[in-house]
Structure 1
């Protein structure tokens, strides 16, 4: 047990001090800080005068004022400038950078306004959309005037239908709560997916590296291969927990510092304004169990190869399993109660993401979430038992070995050892 503790500490500390871990952590921290301070960064780069200048050629001589008034209601950051020069001259002014765009307004056959928008590039779709919406409102008012419709009748005509959604199940989430839960689960699914695939793959790569450098021959003479395997798996898990804890702490203090600016919008839509403790607990539990399952698989797959370049190919099936589970979870976001989501959530390799999807978005009894945990624990025990035997024989195999057929050979070697 003392040897196991020494190996565990060495595995954890060596990875903690590695350049790849430090650089990756710094990049992630920078990303968190940028996202948390996005509003301030946008304000910093926007400068003092951030208005878009649009020159207007009003060939009707009657639409500009209404257009300008309507746009001021929807967006005050767009400045309309009326000019009477020729269209060719105004196009040159736009290309010269004097204006951000040119909009030419004329009348159609129904004596209603139509417009052509010209700009150096059409990449700013938000700007053109806002101009179009403002002109649409002007056109609606003019059409109502032609049809002798009062303002009240026009408002009644344009008012949206009242469409309520009511769930008949007790304690079921409303559509607004589901939308928030969907955003939060979406982000946490990405965290689980990338964390599991990154940390689990690192275990397999470490084993392959030790075999390639012949360090494995020294290690197996001082401790059993089984102890080595679990020391690497648990060491990488502790490393992942450390990295996630640092990121979550930085994210928490960043959000707390910018809480007044982050209220509503993205912050509210993605469910961060009302995070349930149970959702975070489930995310941590399924992340850890998913990691342990895939890390065990990666460890014995990595033990089957003797060259680092063969490790990625050997672990390709594992990567595909994680990707399939992630894609099923993404397709189930809009309907987490679908039959295919329920069934596949009990397939061990898909359980970490799919069961989390279900418990995160649906009001399910506690036993459902615990059943997913139980499936993973049993699968991990079985995988660890089989994986330890394969690992015990696999670390003794050298030469070209990049086929899953070597599992049988590794099992035979473990029996003879």
Structure 2
């Protein structure tokens, strides 16, 4: 056991102190900082940007007062009084549009001419003119303001989205669904990123020592089992260190920026407690089990490589398998009740990518979730011992054949070793 921890410690220290780990940790943080900086810059630019200007041309004083007295997202150019002047100003791009409005027999006839910069304001202007027209017709009918308010009062419509489950109606909470879908996206992307990163690291760890022929010296003082699980544990500790760094930085950033207006606005729209609950629930289980499975497979395939140049070829099947699972998971988001999705959600190699989307869409029972978790964890344990058995056989094999040929040779050696142990025991 002491040798196991020595190997684990050496793998951990070597990777933590490497430039590659520092770059790997900093690159997402730099990306987030750049995106946040750009977002903040444009938000500030929008706040300091001068208001859009339009001209209002009307002989009706009430209409002029409506646009001069109320607060709008645009400014009124009071110097323009004629339509011809407004057209010239629009051509000079000194204004973004102009409104002509007149009242005839209780009806407001208006025309709004504008450029793209003013397209999102037309509905607001139309609503204001409609309210003014309603007041004009109310005066003709001798209706008071209270009567007009009663006529204009909108219908109260309470919306309730329900699901039919086992013969009864259950109300669906959209906020929970959005949180679950976000968690599903997060875990799928995170699994993909960590698989691509750490599969290469563990494969290089094994192939590097094998390619330099140091493996014979190492295995003379430590068993293949200690070496395999020591390497695996060291790499997983590096992964946990990276996650811990992000968690600490994220918590620190939240404490520092929690009183900022943009953060408060975002927190008012989302339930932070629900997000953390989802991330710390089923999704974290699928994340850990998924990454562990693929890292174990990467260690196995890395032991098949005899040179560092062969590492990328060795881990290619793992990357393709992860990509297949990732795209099935994206398909599961749009069609969570599809039979194809349901079947693949119970295949351990694809479960971490697919099942979170089915959970978000509530198309799987609690029993189904736990069956998939048990199956995934069980498969991860099984593949660990299968990989260890092959690892013991092929870790000292130096062959120029392809991966399939190396696996066949490892199987033959493993069978021969088993027969030899059986004969010795007899």
Q: 1:55 aligns to what SS in structure 2?
A: strand
Do the aligned partners of residues 23 and 411 (structure 1) sit closer, same or farther apart at CA in structure 2, a change above 3 Å counting? same
Deviations along 1:305-331, one digit per CA (max 9) or x if unpaired, are: 334444333323322222232233333
Per the alignment, residue 352 of structure 2 pairs with 352
TM-score (norm 1): 0.76
Instruction: Report how many residues are paired.
Output: 394
- Correspondences of 1:64-143 after superposition (within 5 Å): 66=66, 72=71, 75=73, 78-81=74-77, 84=80, 85=85, 87=87, 91-92=91-92, 94=93, 102-105=96-99, 111-118=109-116, 128=118, 130-138=120-128, 140-141=130-131
Q: Specify which structure has the higher proportion of helix.
A: 2
Do the aligned partners of residues 379 and 137 (structure 1) sit closer, same or farther apart at CA in structure 2, a change above 3 Å counting? same
Q: 2:272 aligns to what SS in structure 1?
A: coil
Per the alignment, residue 50 of structure 2 pairs with 52
Per the alignment, residue 160 of structure 2 pairs with 164
TM-score (norm 2): 0.74
| Higher alpha-carbon deviation: 394-403 or 142-151 | 142-151
Deviations along 1:194-225, one digit per CA (max 9) or x if unpaired, are: 23332233212333344444444543444344
Question: Residues of 1 paired with 2:43 and 2:372: CA distance?
Answer: 47
Question: Residues of 1 paired with 2:271 and 2:184: CA distance?
Answer: 9
Per the alignment, residue 180 of structure 1 pairs with 179
Deviations along 1:210-243, one digit per CA (max 9) or x if unpaired, are: 4444444543444344432222222111111111
Question: Residues of 2 paired with 1:209 and 1:80: CA distance?
Answer: 72
Q: 1:187 aligns to what SS in structure 2?
A: helix
Question: Residues of 2 paired with 1:387 and 1:301: CA distance?
Answer: 9
Per the alignment, residue 370 of structure 2 pairs with 370
- Correspondences of 1:284-363 after superposition (within 5 Å): 284-333=284-333, 336=336, 339-359=339-359, 362=362
Question: Residues of 2 paired with 1:65 and 1:331: CA distance?
Answer: 55
Q: 1:114 aligns to what SS in structure 2?
A: strand
Q: 2:52 aligns to what SS in structure 1?
A: strand
Do the aligned partners of residues 166 and 213 (structure 1) sit closer, same or farther apart at CA in structure 2, a change above 3 Å counting? same
Do the aligned partners of residues 371 and 129 (structure 1) sit closer, same or farther apart at CA in structure 2, a change above 3 Å counting? farther
Give the superposition deviation at 1:112. Answer: 3.7
Question: Residues of 2 paired with 1:197 and 1:287: CA distance?
Answer: 14
Do the aligned partners of residues 16 and 58 (structure 1) sit closer, same or farther apart at CA in structure 2, a change above 3 Å counting? same
Question: Residues of 1 paired with 2:270 and 2:44: CA distance?
Answer: 25
| Higher alpha-carbon deviation: 51-60 or 144-153 | 144-153
Q: 1:324 aligns to what SS in structure 2?
A: helix
Per the alignment, residue 124 of structure 1 pairs with none
Out of 31, 42, 47, the position equivalent to 2:40 is: 42
For the aligned residue pairs, the C-alpha RMSD in angstroms reads 4.1
Larger radius of gyration: 2
Q: 1:347 aligns to what SS in structure 2?
A: coil
Deviations along 1:45-91, one digit per CA (max 9) or x if unpaired, are: 82796143323244667777656777x36x5xx54545635645555
Q: 2:162 aligns to what SS in structure 1?
A: coil
Do the aligned partners of residues 306 and 42 (structure 1) sit closer, same or farther apart at CA in structure 2, a change above 3 Å counting? same
Deviations along 1:131-167, one digit per CA (max 9) or x if unpaired, are: 24423434654776798895655563xx685432134
